[in-house]
Structure 1
Amino acid sequence: MDEISHILQENGHDVRMFRLDYRNTPGFEMTSGPYAVSTYNMEEEHLKEHDEFFNEYQREAFMGKDRPQSLSPLMTLYAKHCHFCMNQTDSLDFLKRENYDIAIIDPFNPCQFLIAEKLGIPYIVFFAGPFSYSLGNGLPSPPSYVPMFLSGFTDRMNFLERVINTFMYLSSYMVEIRNEQIFRGVIEEHFPPDSRPTLSDLYHKAELWIYNMDFSIEFARPLLPHIQYIVGLRAKPAKPVSQDLEDFIAESGDSGFILVTLGSMVSTIPRTDLIREMNSAFASVPQKIIWRYKSSQWPEDLKLAPNVRLMDWVNQNDLLGHPKMRLLVTHGGLNSLTEAVYHGVPVLGIPIFADQPDNVVRIKAKHMGEYIPFYKIKSDKFADMIRKIVEDKSYKTAAMKQSVIMRSRPFPPDQQLLGWWSTSSAPVEAAS
């Protein structure tokens, strides 16, 4: 959303971001942008509840207990937050008086639909994850070849997988019904009886659905005119890294280096045994390793491998574009994979939760990488997988092929965004 706001503000639009006054990404500091920001506050008790939920969710995921039903308590938590946000009438009244032409919202938290409806302005949906919400936006999803979210299937399913995929397709209706019930109290409290929307109504009311996705990663599937995919807003030509890092990378010689990062939300690993296995594997490969890991949380009794450098935060895009980059070891977040595809970098996925297992399945299907569940990581096997991907040039070739596909669009992603934004926010007379 920060990147989108920069693009719009720097191209003649007056942008204001409305967000929670809270930072939960360790090591990342959000710099002040050229656009205005309005924030709303949350009681400390609820912020603590939010932290505890994600910490527990992360711990369970590292124990191999990630479950789709975990989203239900998260939606309940979001509904609580929504009550607080909607009660901050001064902020909402200010935004309403500003008379904005259009809003851009992230659909993962349904409260954002309710805020846009409360403000009485049209909105575009920008979904940062893989294709989902097909029931809400009317996107056809034939279960015979379109794998459902969290299925872990490819587009080449056998009969049993198609049966399972069909049941998952049907069960997604139950998920939508449950979300409607969870947010019903918010809607009843903050909207008058004669104009109470439903979430499904608000999904269909969106001017446009934009997905942070591209067919260089995604499988073939049907699309409709109101569904557009714009990928790579944060994937850009690399800038030079710091001299300190450049000196470290130069020590690798022709072997190059490997970047290890498990996403912005995971700055440490709560399992010492897993850290030991990964550290031992890194010690046995010739490449230098840049590992995004909070150094203050490194186990005191574990000696860091001599070829490994820990960093609290990394500029991932610039490192991926470095000529000595050999492999990205990643949790499988979509932005990380997008940047890897853009720069033609092979991937070794360690999916943890949410959409990550589905994402790395797609990477493997494109033959630009492999993946391994973290609970199966043993130093020898992990090191063998690293050597296989780095030394087998077919992975690099496939990654470069997908990069060509991603870059082959006639307009760069920021120009696509501006074009669709202008079309969606134009008056009806002009648009027609």
Structure 2
Amino acid sequence: MAGERKLCIFLFITLQFPLLQTAKILTICFIGGSHYLLLDEISRILHNNGHDVRMFLQFGEGMLPGYKLPPSPYPVSTYSLDEKYLKEYKEHFIENQKEFLVGRRGLQSILTFLGELSYQCNVTLHQSDILKFLKNEQFDIAIVDAFNPCTFLVSEKLGIPYIAFFPGIFGNALRVGIPTPLSYVPLFQSQLTDRMDFFGRLKNTVTFFVSHIIGKKIDSIFDNVIEEHFPAGSRPSIADLHLKAELWLYNVDFTIEFARPLLPHVQYIGGLLAKPAKPLSQELEDFITESGESGFIVVTLGSMLSSIPLVEFVKEMNAGLAKIPQKVIWRYQTSHWPEEVALAPNVKIVDWLPQNDLLGHPKVRLLVTHGGMNSLMEAVYHGVPVLGIPLFGDQYENMVRIKAKNMGTSIPPEQLKSENFAQTILEIIQNKSYKTSAMKLSAIRKSLPFPPDQQLLRWVEHIVQTGGGGHLHPYSYQQPWYQQCLLDVILFVTVCLTVTVYLIVTLFRVLIQKICSSGKQKQN
């Protein structure tokens, strides 16, 4: 009897979750840093669950300063850009970092960066041998880094259906057609929360119209690439390629993001890199032990920022850290530490640090971060308060959400001085409300019905099994914009009301004239 019951349960589970044959999956990553870490994790998850995975990778070595890439369990097709160009690009990137550190972060810097991506895309699409090889592999699906428009173009060139993975918050919601009520869903770059007053809603509305203009400007940066590599009559647009994705996956969840409506083919899988902590090296453990009851803090400004190009900024940070009782583990490339700055006695600098494992240590008190989504998701997972020093991109928006959730606060880099840096660190550590909020968010995060790796795996397999995500796409993708906004209906109703009012007014005017004329005839 017990055996029959087990057999029934097994058959039920098998019918509920039919086995999927090995799928051939291509992951596409053309940016280093956290983008590579995420796409690598996605590739490993799919590979470890029996799928045939290959990554198309651009930069190769040097994508993560100070980090030693572990052996890849899946094959990688990679190439490098011209060394002269890479040198110039690195110098340009450092100059941009300097601008961000002094508070200059206008639209032009974003457009310039996307211009570099467009140039790199042109080089990528000229890699005829690799592209021919990948096309002949006949992949079932591609998973692309949706931050870089070039990944869409490469998938289109290869003729592979694709799933778009976006490495942050719903910053491109308007482009994906996600419902975005402006009264309570703050748009990207508005730096608003979901609780907007009148002027907040006004700002959000203005941002809505500006976003459309900026979106068209960004798309036009890739026009020359499209014209060169796609024949006339079948040239895609970046906007259409966004809507063509079978599925959209976002590296966020609602522990950080504000609650908002989503479409069926839009899923969130934030926190792929956040995991139970592993033991630290003996060197780091010995350093932490010296902290006593004060504990330690982790300082890192992103996977791509291995050092800080402004000495004055380093001096202020270092002086501020010297004023706190906690030990400090700071990711900073040791060979680039400025000789004129004496390292604070409570600070240890390392070329690379195991951030997730440090945040899972019982003596950690705070994470000082640039506000990248991976760092914030790891902090949420382990219940660690955050002090943000946002530099560019989505980092300011991310920190708005952290502040709204009372998990931490931020200091704009141009306002960072040793005194306010130290005082803010101590305020977050000593004010227990930040830790309480962080632990509450951690509990929410850990109690989600499915972990992000399982969400990723199930959704990818679902798309492959069903031959695409068309059944999840709304009909609005096929409607012109004026129908989506009901402008035709509004115009029709307006015309009907106008005609009706006109007829009523005309009728009353005729009646009044007749009444007046009959009255005059009686008097005569």
Residue number in structure 1 paired with 2:200: 161
Question: Residue 451 of structure 2: which of 400, 412, 423 is its match?
Answer: 412
TM-score normalised per structure 2: 0.80
Q: Is 1:131–2:170 an aligned residue pair?
A: yes
Q: Is 1:105–2:141 an aligned residue pair?
A: no
> Secondary structure of the residue that 2:440 maps to in structure 1?
helix
The separation in 2 between residues aligned to 1:193 and 1:272, in whole angstroms, is 51
Shift of 1:317: 0.2
Residue number in structure 2 paired with 1:60: 99
The separation in 1 between residues aligned to 2:216 and 2:175, in whole angstroms, is 11
The separation in 2 between residues aligned to 1:169 and 1:196, in whole angstroms, is 27
Residue number in structure 2 paired with 1:339: 378
Residue number in structure 2 paired with 1:180: 219
Q: Is 1:4–2:33 an aligned residue pair?
A: no
Q: Is 1:41–2:80 an aligned residue pair?
A: yes
Change (3 A) 1:430 1:259: closer
Contact 2:463 2:469 in 1 (8 A): no
Name the aligned partner's letter for residue 217 of structure 2: R
The separation in 2 between residues aligned to 1:307 and 1:243, in whole angstroms, is 18
> Secondary structure of the residue that 1:326 maps to in structure 2?
strand
Question: Residue 306 of structure 2: which of 267, 270, 275 is its match?
Answer: 267
Shift of 1:301: 2.3
Question: Residue 57 of structure 2: which of 14, 19, 27 is its match?
Answer: 19
The separation in 2 between residues aligned to 1:240 and 1:229, in whole angstroms, is 29
> Secondary structure of the residue that 1:195 maps to in structure 2?
coil
Residue number in structure 2 paired with 1:119: 158
The separation in 2 between residues aligned to 1:381 and 1:72, in whole angstroms, is 33
Q: Is 1:379–2:418 an aligned residue pair?
A: yes
Residue number in structure 2 paired with 1:299: 338
Q: Between Structure 1 and Structure 2, whose CA radius of gyration is higher?
A: 2
Residue number in structure 2 paired with 1:357: 396
The separation in 1 between residues aligned to 2:170 and 2:194, in whole angstroms, is 13
User: Is 114-123 or 280-289 further displaced after alignment?
Assistant: 280-289
Shift of 1:372: 0.8
Contact 1:257 1:287 in 2 (8 A): yes
Shift of 1:99: 0.5
Q: How does 1:393-432 map to 2 (within 5 A)?
A: 393-428=432-467
Change (3 A) 1:299 1:16: same
Contact 1:278 1:382 in 2 (8 A): yes
> Secondary structure of the residue that 1:141 maps to in structure 2?
coil
Change (3 A) 1:354 1:21: closer
Shift of 1:370: 1.2
Change (3 A) 1:297 1:417: same
Name the aligned partner's letter for residue 165 of structure 2: F
Name the aligned partner's letter for residue 222 of structure 2: F
Change (3 A) 1:429 1:146: closer
> Secondary structure of the residue that 2:391 maps to in structure 1?
coil
> Secondary structure of the residue that 2:71 maps to in structure 1?
coil
The separation in 2 between residues aligned to 1:256 and 1:195, in whole angstroms, is 60
The separation in 2 between residues aligned to 1:70 and 1:279, in whole angstroms, is 28
Q: Percent identity?
A: 57
Name the aligned partner's letter for residue 127 of structure 2: Q
The separation in 2 between residues aligned to 1:191 and 1:378, in whole angstroms, is 52
Q: Is 1:50–2:125 an aligned residue pair?
A: no
> Secondary structure of the residue that 1:160 maps to in structure 2?
helix
Contact 2:246 2:470 in 1 (8 A): no
User: Is 247-256 or 299-308 further displaced after alignment?
Assistant: 299-308
Residue number in structure 2 paired with 1:248: 287
CA displacement, residues 177-222 of structure 1 (integer Å, 9 cap, x when unaligned): 1123221111121112232111111111100000001110011111
Residue number in structure 2 paired with 1:218: 257
User: Is 119-128 or 67-76 further displaced after alignment?
Assistant: 67-76
What value does the CA root-mean-square deviation take over the aligned residues?
Answer: 1.6
Aligned length: 432
Shift of 1:360: 0.9
Contact 1:46 1:81 in 2 (8 A): no
Change (3 A) 1:20 1:431: closer
Contact 1:423 1:431 in 2 (8 A): no
Shift of 1:24: 3.3
> Secondary structure of the residue that 1:232 maps to in structure 2?
coil
Structure 1 residue runs of 5 or longer lacking an equivalent are none
Residue number in structure 1 paired with 2:512: none
Name the aligned partner's letter for residue 320 of structure 1: L
The separation in 2 between residues aligned to 1:428 and 1:385, in whole angstroms, is 52
> Secondary structure of the residue that 1:248 maps to in structure 2?
helix
Name the aligned partner's letter for residue 412 of structure 1: P
> Secondary structure of the residue that 2:307 maps to in structure 1?
coil
> Secondary structure of the residue that 2:77 maps to in structure 1?
strand
Shift of 1:47: 2.0
Q: Is 1:207–2:237 an aligned residue pair?
A: no
Residue number in structure 2 paired with 1:231: 270
The separation in 1 between residues aligned to 2:344 and 2:196, in whole angstroms, is 42
Name the aligned partner's letter for residue 211 of structure 2: S
Contact 1:105 1:112 in 2 (8 A): yes
> Secondary structure of the residue that 1:309 maps to in structure 2?
strand
Change (3 A) 1:188 1:372: same
Residue number in structure 2 paired with 1:323: 362
TM-score normalised per structure 1: 0.97
CA displacement, residues 244-268 of structure 1 (integer Å, 9 cap, x when unaligned): 1111101111111011111111121
Question: Residue 110 of structure 2: which of 71, 79, 95 is its match?
Answer: 71
Contact 1:267 1:312 in 2 (8 A): yes
Q: Is 1:171–2:224 an aligned residue pair?
A: no
The separation in 1 between residues aligned to 2:52 and 2:307, in whole angstroms, is 38
The separation in 2 between residues aligned to 1:414 and 1:373, in whole angstroms, is 34
CA displacement, residues 252-293 of structure 1 (integer Å, 9 cap, x when unaligned): 111110111111111212222222222222222111111111
Change (3 A) 1:247 1:319: same
Contact 1:131 1:211 in 2 (8 A): yes
The separation in 2 between residues aligned to 1:424 and 1:319, in whole angstroms, is 36
Contact 1:351 1:374 in 2 (8 A): yes
